């Protein structure tokens, strides 16, 4: 399988886009040159993250309803757990988005985590940059839902939405600062349930400057995604963030973070975990293993 020429792929050519994403994921012959030939894009990346059961898929579906009204091209990347047998995506909740599968302005793709931590796919940066280049104007990225470790999305998205539910209750107290600080917007979904107002008040206390280092107040929006309640308010907040100074300030930080991750990946691309394990095992058995002496050989000359 060889990757198609980037100059022939536009936001309307869903078949070529899907094939190209597969080629990028599998790093087929020519994929590096393909990426290097991409023209810049201006799509806004909107990340949707949060613990399992918060209703991220339903919220993504509801948010699509608002974004489609803009008449812009929209791509949705849904990162799912990997199958233990073939490392493909376990499609789970995608059936909730079936109304969009034939929509001419909406491209949806499920991606597997393939064992990566942080709730994302190992090639997520390359894929989102490709979608930008293809001409999409909004890219929604829904993470797998692994809870507190799910902070990598902050290095990818222009706006990061953290979705919670009233049942989280006192569990909010145990959340690591990481996931609290990555949020540009908090959504309390399923807010028609008992205890929603109390949960919002607790969340506001947790976001006080004494607990979370944020320059600005983080908006908290109550939604019932299944019925569309609060979704227009959420989309308005997103648009304000994307057009305000926050986007300009964050832009270069995001690019630098992406460049760092890609450089790190390239530098470790020739390192095989199985080989490391075998070498370490032999040295441990020979009682000659020292972790810091061992990793020294991988340092830059």
* Domain-located, residue 15: no
Number of domains in the chain: 1
**In whole angstroms, how large is the CA radius of gyration of the chain?**
21
* Sign of the dihedral defined by the CA atoms of residues 175, 254, 138, 97, in that order: negative
SS3 per-residue string spanning the chain: CECCCHHHCCCCCHHHHHHHHHHHHCCCECHHHHHHCCCCCCCEEEEEECCCCCCHHHHHHHHHHHHHCCCCCEEEEEEECECCCCCCECCHHHHHHHHHCCCCCEEEEEEECCCCCCCCCCCHHHHHHHHHHHCCCEEEEECCCCHHHCCHHHHCCCEEEEEECHHHHHHHHHCCHHHHHCCCEEEECCCCCCCHHHHHHHHHHHCCCCCCCCCCCCCEEECECCCCECHHHHHHHHHHHHHCHHHHHHHHHHHHHHHHHHHHHHHCCCCCHHHHHHHHHHHHHCCCCCHHHHHHCCCCC
Copy the structure tokens of residue 81.
């757990």
Q: What is the pLDDT of residues 128-183, one digit of tens each?
A: 999 999 999 999 999 876 544 455 677 788 999 989 999 875 556 555 556 667 78
The answer to whether residue 110 sits within a structural domain is yes
CATH of the domain at 244: 3.40.50.300
Phi, psi of 233 (to 5 degrees): -65, -40
pLDDT tens track for 291-300: 888 988 887 7
Residue 29's DSSP bridge partners are 2
Q: 283: which 2 tokens?
A: 């040295």
For the stretch 36-51, pLDDT in tens is 888 888 899 999 988 8
Residue 212 belongs to what domain range? 40-267
Q: pTM for this structure?
A: 0.81
Residue 225 lies in a domain: yes
| Closest among 26, 162, 150, 20 to 79, alpha carbons compared | 150
Residue 24 lies in a domain: no
**Span 58-117, pLDDT tens digits:** 999 999 999 999 999 999 998 875 444 344 444 444 556 778 888 999 999 988 765 454
Assess if residue 16 is contained within a domain.
no
User: Per the domain annotation, does 115 fall within a domain?
Assistant: yes
**Rounded mean pLDDT of 259-280?**
85
């Amino acid at each position: 399988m060889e990757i198609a020429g980037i100059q022939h792929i536009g936001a309307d050519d869903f078949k070529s886009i899907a094939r190209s994403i597969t080629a990028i994921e599998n790093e087929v012959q020519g994929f590096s040159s393909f990426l290097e030939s991409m023209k810049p894009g201006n799509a806004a990346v909107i990340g949707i993250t949060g613990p399992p059961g918060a209703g991220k898929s339903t919220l993504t579906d509801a948010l699509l309803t608002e974004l489609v009204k803009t008449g812009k091209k929209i791509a949705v990347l849904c990162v799912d757990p990997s199958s233990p047998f073939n490392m493909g995506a376990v499609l789970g909740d995608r059936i909730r988005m079936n109304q969009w599968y034939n929509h001419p302005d909406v491209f949806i793709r499920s991606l597997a985590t393939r064992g990566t931590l942080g709730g994302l796919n190992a090639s997520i940066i390359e894929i989102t940059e490709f979608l930008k280049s293809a001409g999409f104007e909004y890219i929604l990225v829904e993470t797998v839902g692994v809870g507190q470790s799910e902070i990598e999305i902050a290095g990818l998205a222009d706006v990061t939405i953290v979705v919670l539910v009233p049942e989280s209750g006192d569990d909010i107290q145990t959340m690591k600062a990481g996931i609290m600080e990555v949020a540009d917007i908090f959504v309390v979904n399923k807010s028609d349930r008992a205890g929603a107002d109390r949960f919002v008040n607790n969340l506001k206390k947790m976001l006080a400057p004494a607990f979370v280092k944020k320059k600005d107040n983080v908006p908290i929006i109550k939604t019932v995604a299944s019925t569309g309640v609060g979704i227009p308010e959420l989309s308005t907040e997103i648009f304000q963030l994307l057009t305000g100074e926050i986007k300009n300030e964050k832009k270069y930080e995001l690019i630098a973070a992406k460049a760092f991750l890609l450089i790190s990946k390239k530098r470790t691309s020739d390192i095989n975990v199985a080989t490391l394990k075998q070498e370490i095992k032999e040295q441990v058995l020979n009682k000659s293993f020292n972790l810091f002496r061992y990793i020294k050989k991988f340092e830059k000359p």
